Amino acid sequence: MRTVIHLDSEEFPKYFYNALPDLPEKIPPYLDPETNKPVSSKKLELLFPKEIVNQEFSEERFIPIPEELRDIYINLLKRPRPLVRARYLENYLNLNNRIRIYYKREDLSPTGSHKPNTAIAQLYYANKDNASLVTTETGAGQWGSAVAFSSSVFNIKAEIYMVKVSYEQKPLRRILMQLFNAAVYPSPSANTKTGKAFIKKGEMNGSLGIAISEAVEAAITKRGKYVLGSVLNAVLAHQTIIGEETIKQLQDIDEEPTDVIACFGGGSNFGGLILPFYREYFVKKKRFINLIAAEPSEVPSLSKGEYKYDYGDTAGLTPLLKMYTLGKDFIPPPIYAGGLRYHGASPLLSLLRKHNIIKPRAHDEQESRRAAEIFARTEGIVPAPETSHAIAAAIDRAIELKKKGEEGTIIIGFSGHGLLDLTFYEGKYGN
């Protein structure tokens, strides 16, 4: 029985999978916040690297990964990454080989999460545009660390707006970003008009929505490029290298998944894992498997949100996207899983949710932390607070299958480690 399934470097994908041609219907257009009409690519190119805008609307199913970039994925990001059978967790849950659990180790990236998969691509394309500055926001600090690291690879300046509550909860992440030469500001900050307005209103915690507004404003006023860690089709496409590798790894050991589970903030690690499974099972084989989005019950955008046009940020500077949303003004409670504190969701994944192809499951912070403790004590790896939601959903599903006497093969997207989030395990919030 193989517990750790590796791939060779030549097996690393040559393409990003773009799911747009395989969707049950077209994604409604993104609307310009100034005119309420479909936003033009030209306008988006003022903000994003040109190739990112091309990829966002591309109808090409497979987008070639430039050889230079592929080399970076293999030699710097050290891909492909292992898929691991969670045998010690299975034993703890008494699953008797009838229900098997595997996890895909994105925690092994240089900064500890799946985020460098898209950060490195976006910085690669920003560098092709001769950008000298990129701006972004970060919640937990995982995305910010990935951008800081990728910017240092291309020698581009990075300005990062970190949600204030996370800035205070996670000084180690801030130090990591600064180590990679990034300028890090708590958001709301006094650097931007938007930030100043929220400070004046007495906003203390901040939110991803506000931090996005600040980063977009800074990119526009300083003529930099804005990079986004989730939500966009292009970002999901970069992350599909996770799912493509996992499919190969399962084929190598003759396993067929029944459940594929990942946590859901804006949808990038979830989409990256499940979209290749969607293509192989739903589109090609016309076969149903469970694609489960694990979200926090405190920020239940997919389970309780409304499918409608909304802004991606709080100040209303970004295009309007048709998505499941709790409303741009929703300020989430200060849960530790900062990367899941987002009011909206990827428009592509929102469409799959509308068609009942993906299913949300919500767990609160305490349930997730308990599941993560079990995982750490059995498998020896500490999950990031975000990832702990996927662990909670997977343990729940395993117990459900066991009670029904059914067999199952559960795949978890292990999106990141929590070694810089250890205070999460102190039980500071909840308990």
Query: Distance from first CA to last CA of the chain, Å, rounded?
Result: 39
x/- binding map, residues 104-123, to ligand PLP, per CB under 6 A?
---------x----------
What is the distance between the alpha carbons of residues 213 and 231, in angstroms, rounded to a whole number?
A: 15
For the bound state, the minimum distance from the C-beta of residue 91 to ligand PLP, rounded and expressed in Å, comes to 26
**Type and span of the H or E element at 104:** strand 99-105
**Residue 350 has which token pair?**
């929102």
Interaction residues for ligand PLP, span 355-394 (CB under 6 A): 384, 386-387
| Residue 235 CB, nearest approach to ligand PLP (Å) | 7
Secondary structure (3-state) at 168:
helix
Query: Which residue's C-beta sits nearest to ligand PLP?
Result: 339
Contact of 83 with 249, CB cutoff 8 Å: yes
Q: In the beta sheet, which residues pair with residue 414?
A: 105
Cβ atoms of 114 and 229 within 8 Å: the answer is no
Binding to ligand PLP (CB under 6 A) within 138-177 occurs at 139-140, 142-143
> Which three-class secondary structure string do you get for 56-69?
HHCCCCEEECCHHH
By beta-carbon proximity to ligand PLP, the closer residue of 347 and 408 is 347
Considering CB under 6 A, how many residues would be counted as binding ligand PLP?
21
The least distance separating ligand PLP from the CB of residue 427, rounded to whole angstroms, comes to 20
Q: Please tell me the distance from the alpha carbon of residue 242 to that of residue 255, in angstroms, as a whole number.
A: 17
Cβ(89)–Cβ(378) below 8 Å: yes
Tell the smallest beta-carbon distance from residue 188 to ligand PLP (Å): 19
How many other β-carbons are positioned within 10 Å of the β-carbon of residue 201? 9
H or E element that contains 82 = none
Q: Which is nearer to ligand PLP, 185 or 264 (CB)?
A: 264
| Min CB(140)–ligand PLP separation in Å | 5
Binding-residue pattern over the window 269 to 298 for ligand PLP, x denoting contact by CB under 6 A: xx----------------------------
Which string of x and - marks every residue 311-340 that binds ligand PLP (by CB under 6 A)? ----------------------------xx
Contacting ligand PLP within 15-44 (CB under 6 A) = none
- Helices 233-252, 50-57: inter-axial angle, 10-degree rounding: 70
Q: What is the largest CA-CA distance in the chain?
A: 60
The residue among 18 and 301 lying less far from ligand PLP, judged by its C-beta, is: 301
Q: What is the DSSP string of 109-133?
A: STTSBSTHHHHHHHHHHHHHTT-SE
Nearer to ligand PLP, 142 or 194 (CB): 142
263 sits near ligand PLP (criterion: CB under 6 A) = yes
Stretch that binds ligand PLP, among 164-172, 173-181, 267-275, 393-401 (CB under 6 A): 267-275
In the bound state with ligand PLP, the residue whose beta carbon lies nearer, of 30 and 100, is 30
Q: What is the per-residue DSSP string for 201-217?
A: TT--S--HHHHHHHHHH
Among 73, 124, 125, 264, binds ligand PLP (CB under 6 A): 264
User: Please, are residues 261 and 327 in contact by the beta-carbon 8 Å criterion?
Assistant: no
Task: Choose between 143 and 311: whose C-beta lies nearer to ligand PLP.
Answer: 143
Nearer to ligand PLP, 65 or 163 (CB): 163
| 173-232 positions binding ligand PLP, by CB under 6 A | 230
Q: Cis omega (within 30 of 0) on the bond before 319? A: no
What residues line the site for ligand PLP (CB under 6 A)? 113, 139-140, 142-143, 230, 263-270, 339-340, 384, 386-387, 415-416
